Amino acid sequence: MLLLVIDDLDRCNGDRVVALLETLQTLLRERAAPRRLRRWRRPAPLGVIVPASGRWVRDAFTKHYEIFDRSGGEDSVHDLGADFLQKIFDHSILVPGLSPEQTANLIHVVSGGRSHAPARPADVG
C-alpha cells in the first residue's frame, strides 16, 4: 500500500488548497488501465491523509465558489465548503486539542525524557 500525506495544507492560500484537492480528486477518480502486461500489473492501493484544519479547507472552497452559493446564508444546515469536503473526502476525523498534561507527556516522550518542561505538582515529592 502506498500512503500519500499532504501536510501543511492549512498554511496555503485558499486558491492553492482548492487547486490541490481538486487535482488530487481527479487523479484518484480517473483510473488508467495499464497498456502493457495487464495480467501482471495491478494498481497499488493508495491511501491519502490530509492532516489540516477542516475549517480552513471549508472556508477555502466556500470563498473560491461563492458565486455558486445558494444556501441562503447562515441559517443553512451545510455551507458550500462543507458540501465540497463531503464529496472529496471519504472519512473525516476530528482530533481534539491536547490538554497541558498530554502536551507535557508528548514532549517528554518525543525528546526521550530530556525535556525541560516544568514538573507537575503530582511529580514533586
Q: What is the pLDDT of residues 33-50, one digit of tens each?
A: 667 776 666 667 788 889
Q: Which three cell numbers stand for residue 21?
A: 484537492
The vertex-78 CA angle with 11 and 81, nearest 5°, equals: 30
Q: What is the pLDDT of residues 80-114, one digit of tens each?
A: 888 888 888 888 888 888 899 999 998 888 888 76
Average pLDDT for the chain: 80
The vertex-23 CA angle with 17 and 25, nearest 5°, equals: 100
More confidently predicted of 5 and 94? 5
Q: What is the pLDDT of residues 52-63, one digit of tens each?
A: 988 899 899 989
